[in-house]
Amino acid sequence: MKFEPAYLETWRSGRLAEKVAQAHEELRACYACPRNCGVDRLQGRTAACHTGRWAYVSSAFPHFGEEDCLRGIRGSGTIFFARCNLRCVFCQNWDISQQKTAGQELRAEQLAGIMLKLQADGCHNINLVTPEHVVPQVVEALPLAIELGLRLPIVYNTSAYDALRSLALLDGLVDIYMPDFKFWEPESAMRYARARDYPQVARETISEMHRQVGELRFDEHGMALRGLLIRHLVMPGGLEETRAILGWVARELSTSTYVNLMDQYYPTYQSAKFPELNRRLYAEEFEQAWRIARREGLRRLDERAGLRRGFGPFAQERDGTPPPNRVH
C-alpha cells in the first residue's frame, strides 16, 4: 500500500479545521509549551519564547546532516524556527535560538509556501526544527499547504520540552516524532537549561509521542515513514544521566525504540562558564554510552556515530556481545 501522511485523513475528516480553531485559542492565552506564560499572542504579546502572533524562521533548506533514514539522497526539508523555550548554555545554534531578534516573521501562508518549496526541491520530508513554541502556527499553516498539494511526511524535531496540549493538536498530523531527551536530573536541567521540570516533561511527552506513532517504520529504501526516533546527546561527565535515560526508554517504551546516540558535543555559547562542560566528549565516554545502550537491551541504534568510531552496531564488540539487529 502506498504511504500517505497521517494529516491527509485528518484533513479529509474535517478534524484539521477543528484543530486550527483550537490552535487560535491556544494563542489567545498561551500554554503552547511548559513555560505556561498565558500571554495573548494573537495580540502580538510575547514572553519566554519572544514569539508573538507569527512564527519566526531563520532558514529552510534540504538538510544532508540528519539521520540517513531522514536525509536519504535528496535531503530532509528542514525549517529552522528561531527563538526557543529552553536556555541551553551549550546550544550549538545559540545565534538563532537565544537571540530575541533572530529569524524572519512569517504568516501562515508564507510558512505553507516554504513547505511546498521544500517538497518541490525533492526533499523526503518536512522537518520542523525547534517547533515547541510555534505548534499553533504550524497547525494553522498545514491545511493551506495541503490544499496546494503537500504530501510529504511531517517530522517534529523537538527538545521534548513540549506541552501535552500541543501534542494533542499534533495527534494525527505528525508522522515522525524526533525528540532529544537531554537531562535526567532536575538539577542538571535547571543549571544548563533553566527548566527544572524538563526531565518530568520529557518523560511525559515522549511517552505520548510513542503512543501516537509507535516504533519507527521504514519503506523499502530505508526511509523513515512513521514512528518515534529519540536522540540523546552524550554530555561530558554525564554517563549516569545517559544510563538513566536509556534505561527508561528500554523499560517504559520498548527495547525496539530507535535511538540515535549523538557524539558531537563541543563547548560553545556559554559552556566556558561551566568547567565540567568546557571540554569535548572523550572517546571512551561515547563508547561507554554505546555499551550502556546495548546492556539496557536497546537494539535499534542509529549506526553512523558508532561506525565512525569503530564500534558501531554491526562491528564485533570487544566484550563479545553480539551486535544489535540491523533495521534497514
105 pairs with which residues across the strands? 56
Q: How many CB atoms lie within 10 A of CB 277?
A: 22
pLDDT, position 305: 78
Q: What is the pTM of this model?
A: 0.94
Using an 8 Å Cβ cutoff, are 206 and 184 in contact? no
Name the residue with cell 499534533. 170
> CA 253 to CA 247: how far, in whole Å?
10
What's the distance, Cα to Cα, between the start and end of the chain in Å?
19
- Report DSSP state, residue 249: I
76 pairs with which residues across the strands? 63
- Report DSSP state, residue 152: S
Q: Residue-wise over 222-252: b if at least 16 C-beta within 10 A, else e?
A: ebbbbbbbbbbbbbbebeebbbbbbbbbbee
- Degrees, nearest 5: CA angle 164-166-171: 90
Q: Are strands 176-179 and 224-233 parallel, antiparallel or unpaired?
A: parallel
The CATH architecture of the domain made up of 6-233 is Alpha-Beta Barrel (3.20)
Low-confidence ranges of the chain (pLDDT < 50): 314-328
Cα dist from 277 to 1, 173, 311, whole Å: 48, 37, 25
Using an 8 Å Cβ cutoff, are 292 and 246 in contact? yes
pLDDT, position 308: 79
128 pairs with which residues across the strands? 79, 156
Dihedral sign for Cα atoms in the order 137, 140, 146, 152: positive
